Chains A and B, each alone.
Chain A
Amino acid sequence: MTFTKRLLGKANGMAGAFLLGIVFFIAVLGSVYTPHDPLKSDLLNRFAEASATHPLGTDMFGRDILSRLMRGAWVSVSIGLGTLVLPVVLGTVLGAAAGYFRGWFDRILIMILDALMAFPGLLIALGLMAVIGANKYGVILALSVAYLPAITRVVRGSVLSVSQSEFVEASATMGNSRLYTLIVHVLPNCLAPLIVLTTMMFGWVLLAESALSFLGLGVPPPEPSWGNILAEAKAHLMRYPMLGLLPGLCISVALLGVNLLGDALRDELDPKSAPSKEVI
Chain B
Amino acid sequence: MIRGTDTGQVLTIQNLEISFGALAVVKGVDLSVAPGEILALVGESGSGKSMIGRAIMGLLPGGGRVSGGRITFRNQEVTGALPSTQMRRLRGKEIGLIFQEPLSSLNPNMRIGEQMCEAMRAHTDLSEDKIRERAHEMLRQVRLDNPEQLMNRYPHEFSGGMRQRIMIASVMMLKPALLIADEPTTALDAVVQREVLDIIAEVARANGTAVILISHDLAVVAAYAAQIAVMEKGVLVEAGSARAVLGCPQHAYTQKLLAAAQLGAPEPVKGASGPPLLSVEGLQVEFSDKQMFGLFGKTVNRAVKDVSLSVQPGEFVGLAGESGSGKSTIGRAIGKLAPMKVGRVTFDGIDLANCSAANERRLRQRIRFVFQDPFSSLNPRMRVGRIVAEGLRHDRGLSAAERQARAIDMLEAVGLPRTMAARFPHALSGGQRQRVAIARALISRPDLIIADEPVSALDVTIQAQILMLLKSLQREFGFACLFISHDLHIVEQLCARLYVLHKGRVMEQGETAQLFAAPRHPYTRRLMSASPRLEQDAEGLQLAQTQPVLGRHDSDTTFYEDSGDNAGPYHLAETAPGHFVALRGTA
Contact = CB atoms under 8 A, between A and B. Distances in A.
Interface of A: 165-167, 169-176, 184-185, 188-189, 275-276, 279-280
A277 to B, nearest CB: 10
Q: Which 7 A-B pairs have the closest CB atoms?
A: A166-B377, A173-B369, A188-B381, A166-B376, A167-B379, A166-B371, A279-B20
A280 B45 CA distance: 8
B394 A280 contact: no
B373 interface: yes
Contacts of A189: 379-381
**Which residue among A169, A173, A185, A275 has the maximum number of chain B CB atoms within 10 Å of its CB?**
A173
Contact of A174 (B20, B380, B390): B390
B103 to A, nearest CB: 16
Nearest to B48: A280
A176 B444 CA distance: 14
Interface in B30-80: 45-46, 48, 50-51, 61-64
A174 to B, nearest CB: 6
B471 interface: no
Contact of B62 (A170, A174, A275): A275
A173 B335 contact: yes
A167 B377 contact: yes
B337 A169 contact: yes
B25 to A, nearest CB: 6
A39 B46 CA distance: 68
Nearest to B372: A166
B407 interface: no
B50 A166 contact: no
Contact of A172 (B45, B61, B337): B337
Interface string B340-358: 0000000000000000000
Contacts of B372: 166
B361 A175 contact: yes
**Which residue among A170, A176, A188 has the maximum number of chain B CB atoms within 10 Å of its CB?**
A170
A3 to B, nearest CB: 12
A170 B371 contact: yes
Contacts of A176: 390, 393
**Which residue among A171, A172, A276, A280 has the maximum number of chain B CB atoms within 10 Å of its CB?**
A280
Nearest to A275: B62
Nearest to B365: A175
Nearest to A279: B20
The contact size tier of chain B is 35 or more
Nearest to B386: A184
A176 B376 CA distance: 18
Nearest to A165: B376
Nearest to A176: B393
A165 B374 CA distance: 11
A280 B50 contact: yes
Nearest to A172: B337
Contact of A279 (B23, B335, B391, B440): B23
Q: Main SS of chain A's interface residues?
A: helix
B288 to A, nearest CB: 16
B207 to A, nearest CB: 31
Contacts of A184: 379
Interface in B384-431: 390-391, 393-394
A185 B379 contact: yes
B488 interface: no
Given A174-B368, A174-B390, A176-B393, A167 B51 contact: no
A193 to B, nearest CB: 14
Given A165-B377, A279-B64, 10 more contacts: A166-B371, A166-B372, A167-B379, A173-B364, A174-B393, A175-B361, A175-B364, A176-B393, A276-B62, A279-B23
Contacts of B46: 280
Nearest to B336: A172
A276 B62 CA distance: 9
A119 B510 CA distance: 65
B378 interface: yes
A172 B332 CA distance: 11
A129 to B, nearest CB: 38
A182 to B, nearest CB: 12
A165 B377 CA distance: 7
Given A166-B376, A166-B377, A174 B23 contact: no
A175 B371 contact: no
29 contacts: A165-B376, A165-B377, A166-B371, A166-B372, A166-B373, A169-B337, A169-B369, A169-B377, A170-B371, A170-B437, A173-B337, A173-B364, A173-B368, A173-B369, A174-B368, A174-B393, A175-B365, A175-B394, A189-B379, A189-B380, A189-B381, A275-B62, A276-B61, A279-B20, A279-B63, A280-B25, A280-B45, A280-B48, A280-B51
B183 to A, nearest CB: 13
Contacts of A165: 376-377
B367 interface: yes
A173 B380 CA distance: 18
Given A176-B393, A280-B50, A170 B377 contact: yes
Nearest to B391: A174
Contacts of B335: 172-173
A55 to B, nearest CB: 48
A279 B23 CA distance: 10
Contacts of A173: 335, 337, 364, 367-369
Contacts of B440: 170, 174
Given A174-B390, A174-B393, A175-B361, A169 B371 contact: yes
Nearest to B425: A167
A252 B62 CA distance: 35
Nearest to A168: B379
A166 B376 CA distance: 5
Contacts of B64: 279
A279 B369 contact: no
